């Protein structure tokens, strides 16, 4: 039997947040055709506005969410017409919903490097998560929504918390769908290519020219649930191209172009070739990191998402987006000169 909110038809999407004292009910939502291919966790985040990702994963893992009557994993790709059972969720369960601090909102406003009717590009600072969850009250997307109340804003992709640079947010559903298809290299999408370039400082002296790393990556979990990625034949195909731009203080300042977007891809590929990224406390060289902290003041991961190049409207509308290198990273390069 299908239960539904008395104030809404079962097929309606775009749920408003439920007041803490409003009676909650199970509801079933039909996935619109334009959401085909969206992951279940992202679909639920859109339905449960304001709920943290950790709560969404909890209700999926516990089997409270069903797709066409059966249990499903968070990463399941939905199809148009799928019926998603969504349990009652009171936003009070998510904890204190204090607004983001004004200083953060001002910093994000200043960090917007591009905006048009359908996209917004943010030069995300290092240390800011792409989205909230596990102990993080305010990620970039939650803060942007607070900055632009009433606007529909959806993350197109994510950056590691410690990585700075371009983070793309869609303002229209059509742009989100097309860009996510480009991100996953979908051959069905016309003109399906996106060029992603990063700037990174690698420890040690890299050889001249371009070094291509073609090494599959597998995501594992360490004790405590922390993700740890390693090169492993059972992993997903992953391709990165490292090009030395210049050498500073015995280190290699590189441009990195990636053809796949795996978790921690550049960091693990850099470690794999024996030149881990400077300041990487997960995959890096402890001694080299300490020296760079003492000599050049490097207190963060030296990895910056600098350029995204793609075209929307089936390849007809080109975009070339750039985010300047963070000032603290420029200071490190200057000190290494």
Q: Give the catalytic positions in this structure.
A: 160
Give the DSSP H/E element, type plus range, for residue 243. strand 239-248
Residues sharing a CB contact under 8 Å with residue 305, sequence separation 6 or more, in sequence order: 124, 159, 163, 164, 165, 166, 167, 196, 197, 198, 323
Integer Cα distance of 262 and 220 in angstroms: 13
Integer Cα distance of 302 and 162 in angstroms: 9
Integer Cα distance of 154 and 80 in angstroms: 19
Helix axes of 40-47 and 53-61: crossing angle, nearest 10 degrees: 120
Alpha-carbon distance values, 279 to 257, 293, 304 (Å)? 20, 8, 12
Give the DSSP H/E element, type plus range, for residue 317. strand 317-322
Nearest Cα neighbor of 40 from 80, 81, 77, 82 is 77
Which residues pair with residue 312 across a beta bridge? Answer: 317
* DSSP secondary structure code for residue 100 in this structure: P
For residue 190, count other CB atoms closer than 10 A to its CB: 12
Q: Supply 143's token pair.
A: 């803060």
Nearest Cα neighbor of 258 from 235, 273, 237, 279 is 237
Residues sharing a CB contact under 8 Å with residue 334, sequence separation 6 or more, in sequence order: none
Alpha-carbon distance values, 272 to 41, 150, 202, 204, 240 (Å)? 31, 45, 12, 13, 11
Helix axes of 102-111 and 140-147: crossing angle, nearest 10 degrees: 90
């Amino acid at each position: 039997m299908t239960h539904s909110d008395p104030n809404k038809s079962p097929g309606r999407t775009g749920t408003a947040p439920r007041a803490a004292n409003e009676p909650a009910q199970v509801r079933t939502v039909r996935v619109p055709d334009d959401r085909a291919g969206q992951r279940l966790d992202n679909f639920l985040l859109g339905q449960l506005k304001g709920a943290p990702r950790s709560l969404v994963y909890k209700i999926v893992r516990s089997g409270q969410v069903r797709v066409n009557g059966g249990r499903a994993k968070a990463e399941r790709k939905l199809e148009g017409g799928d019926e998603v059972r969504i349990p009652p969720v009171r936003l009070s369960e998510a904890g204190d919903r204090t607004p983001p601090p004004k200083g953060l909102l001002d910093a994000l406003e200043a960090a917007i490097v591009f905006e048009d009717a359908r996209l917004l590009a943010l030069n995300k600072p290092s240390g800011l998560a792409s989205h909230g969850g596990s102990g993080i009250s305010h990620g970039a997307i939650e803060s942007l929504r607070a900055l632009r109340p009433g606007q529909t804003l959806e993350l197109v992709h994510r950056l590691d918390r410690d990585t700075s640079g371009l983070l793309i947010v869609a303002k229209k559903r059509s742009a989100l769908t097309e860009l996510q298809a480009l991100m996953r290299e979908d051959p069905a999408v016309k003109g399906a290519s996106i060029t992603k370039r990063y700037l990174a400082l690698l420890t040690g002296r890299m050889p001249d020219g371009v070094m291509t790393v073609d090494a599959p990556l597998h995501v594992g979990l360490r004790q405590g649930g922390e993700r740890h990625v390693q090169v492993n034949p059972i992993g997903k195909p992953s391709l990165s191209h490292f090009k030395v731009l210049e050498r500073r203080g015995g280190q290699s300042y590189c441009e990195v172009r990636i053809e796949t977007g795996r978790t921690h891809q550049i960091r693990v590929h850099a470690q794999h070739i024996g030149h881990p990224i400077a300041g990487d406390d997960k995959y890096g060289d402890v001694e080299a990191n300490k020296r760079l902290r003492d000599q050049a003041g490097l207190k963060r991961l030296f990895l910056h998402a600098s350029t995204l190049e793609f075209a929307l409207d089936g390849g007809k509308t080109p975009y070339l987006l750039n985010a300047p290198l963070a000032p603290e990273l420029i200071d490190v390069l200057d000190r290494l000169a």
